[in-house]
A and B are shown apart, each in its own frame.
Chain A
Amino acid sequence: DTAVSQTPKYLVTQMGNDKSIKCEQNLGHDTMYWYKQDSKKFLKIMFSYNNKELIINETVPNRFSPKSPDKAHLNLHINSLELGDSAVYFCASSQEGAEQFFGPGTRLTVL
């Protein structure tokens, strides 16, 4: 009965590789988000998306792209991984105007 789930939980990969992180929510929410938490614990919005509009934080490199096959899923694709991409990535979802629920996070390590 997990509300927001992410896979994988851990991802270790080499610089230059392309990887994806999957997110699913079973709450029926209309909006999903991706946040990045760096080694200093700063949490920063990367994307917010509903079935009408994608909003991209201007600081996010275009190597990062969200893909939403349906309302319950928002996956994160990352091309040409760099050392600085190492972080914990959290997916979240909310119903319009209400509380955001976070997934368990994916710890990405780029070697």
Chain B
Amino acid sequence: GENVEQHPSTLSVQEGDSAVIKCTYSDSASNYFPWYKQELGKRPQLIIDIRSNVGEKKDQRIAVTLNKTAKHFSLHITETQPEDSAVYFCAASKGTGRRALTFGSGTRLQVQP
């Protein structure tokens, strides 16, 4: 089955700096790659996603890049703010219908004011 690896496990940055989280996946048939943000005690919430027919996607301060050949994808957060502090999960799934997600192990991002 699919295996998703995520690095780093923890990341501390100063407010205003950029943060980058990287994931690799094993199943070349995977075609959907969402990123979820989970605040303490809360549910995971989708912040951005990318499909395999696209190499990059941006939404304000957040961007995701996908390299299908290397089977890795990355989350980039620019101009970080304290409210960006949370655990971020990458995930992968395949197919066009039901998409059970295989998650990475999570990255705890701390933005220091």
Contact = CB atoms under 8 A, between A and B. Distances in A.
Contacts of B46: 99-101
A97 B98 CA distance: 6
B99 A42 contact: no
Nearest to A42: B105
Contacts of B32: 97
A33 B43 CA distance: 14
Contacts, number: 55
B87 interface: yes
A33 B96 contact: no
B101 A97 contact: no
Contact of B101 (A45, A96, A104): A45
A86 interface: no
Given A41-B87, A42-B106, A43-B89, A94 B45 contact: no
B43 A96 contact: no
A66 interface: no
B98 A50 contact: yes
A90 B43 contact: yes
Contacts of B105: 40-42
Interface in B84-113: 87, 89, 96-103, 105-106
11 contacts: A41-B106, A43-B103, A45-B100, A45-B101, A53-B98, A90-B43, A94-B99, A96-B97, A97-B96, A97-B97, A103-B43
Interface of B: 32, 34, 38, 42-46, 49, 87, 89, 96-103, 105-106
The 10 tightest CB contacts between A and B, nearest first, are: A43-B103, A102-B43, A48-B100, A45-B100, A31-B98, A96-B97, A41-B106, A102-B44, A99-B46, A48-B98
